[in-house]
Structure formats: C-alpha cells, structure tokens
A = this chain, B = another copy of it.
Amino acid sequence: MTAPETRSATPADLLPKRPRGRPRKTEGERDDGNRRQDLLAAAARLFRHQGFDATSTRDIAAAVGMHSGSPFYHFKSKSALLFAVVQEGMHAAMARQAQALQPPGLTDPPSAQMRRLIRAHFDTLLGPGNDFIPVMLYESRALTAAQRSALAQLQDDYEAAWTPVLQALHASGELQAPVKVSRLLILGALNWAVQWYDRQKGLSLDELTDAAMALFFARKR
C-alpha cells in the first residue's frame, strides 16, 4: 500500500486567491445584512467541504472578497460564525418540516405523514445549496458547550415531531420495532445519505423516499 505525501488538494474553485476588492455599492445604498449572509453561505460551503478546523477565517473572507480581519466585524469569533450557520440550518429545517405537517395533511394516514416527513428531511439534507445542515451534522463538535446545548434543544424539537407518527405506525403494525430506537435508526439512515447521495446520477429524492418507506414500514394488511 502506498503512502502518498500530499493531502488531497482543496478544489481550487472553492477558494479565490485574493479578495476581489470592495463590493459594488450604489450611492446612498446600504448593504444591510447582505454581507453577513454572504459570509454565512461561504462559511457553510467551506466548513462542509474542508471541515471547520481546516477552514481559516481568511479562507472565508477571501471567498466573499473581504480582507482577513473583516469577518470579525460581523461575527465576534470563528465559533460564533459556525453557530450562526448551524442555527440558520435548523431554522430552515424546521420551517420545511412544518410545511410537511400542515393542517390539511394531518388527517392523512400515518404512512402518508411519514412519507412527507422523510421527503422534507431529504430536501433539507440533500437539496441544492443546502450546506447548513451537513455542517451541523458533522462539525458541531467545534461548538462551545453552551452553543451545543442550545443546538440540542432545536434538534430535540425537530425530532419530537417524528414520535407521534411513529407511534401511530407502530399501533397499526406497519412499524415492528420499538418507537424510540426506530426514530434513532431511521434518522441515522437518512442523515448518512449526505455521505453517499449524488444528485447528478441515480435516484431522485422521491425514489429515495420510496425506498426508505419500503425498507422501514410493512405494507398494511
């Protein structure tokens, strides 16, 4: 087995070499929160592909055409930037989940509700440009303890929505394993898709959702 010398190259297109200078700003206009949003999106992309520790605040600054010290005008620390990324990801995820469970659908059979929960989760995980939640799943260790416990609260809320649906499926015999451990195993199966799902080729998100439903839940007799 060979032992190569160089760490796999950072995709060059992720990192513009130099700041692009001041962003265009027409007279009297303010940038409002746009620069902050730019930083968040760039940080999410870089944290996802290189990891939190392997991404410098200089990388992030360069990605949005700022100089090295400027991100600290918008965020008081690198870890605060990470927390903002993760927070934004969870808020989007919960909005998407709420849409999946909107009143009209609440009278559907449990399996239809579950299908919509899973489909929404795949959107959140695998939808185009959704780097925020993958960062949350794989980089949260770099958060401070207090940030992590704030995040855990959001995650608990998100996961709690699955329990009544799983209970109904268990009662009908469509779910044959205990509800609590099923929730953990199912969410794990879905979350892991971040590691292997390729939007370009293979399954669509609808097909992936069908496969997950067929794997976890028995057809009703």
A residues lining the B interface (CB < 8 Å):
1-9, 50-54, 76-77, 79-80, 83, 87, 138, 141-148, 150, 175-178, 181-182, 184-193, 195-196, 203, 208, 211-212, 214-216, 218-219
Name 25 interchain pairs, CB-CB below 8 A, sorted by A: A1-B150, A2-B146, A3-B83, A5-B77, A7-B144, A8-B145, A8-B148, A51-B51, A53-B54, A54-B142, A175-B215, A176-B214, A176-B215, A177-B211, A177-B212, A177-B214, A181-B211, A181-B215, A185-B193, A185-B212, A186-B189, A188-B188, A188-B191, A188-B196, A216-B216
Contact present for A218 and B215 (CB under 8 Å):
no
Which residue of chain B has the shortest Cβ distance to A7 in the bound complex? B144
Q: Are B192 and A215 in contact (CB under 8 A)?
A: no
| Residues in chain B near residue A215, CB distance under 8 A | 175-177, 181-182, 185-186, 216
- For the complex formed, measure the closest distance between the CB of A204 and the CB atoms of chain B, giving whole angstroms: 12
Copies in the complex: 2
Contact call B144/A5, Cβ cutoff below 8 A: yes
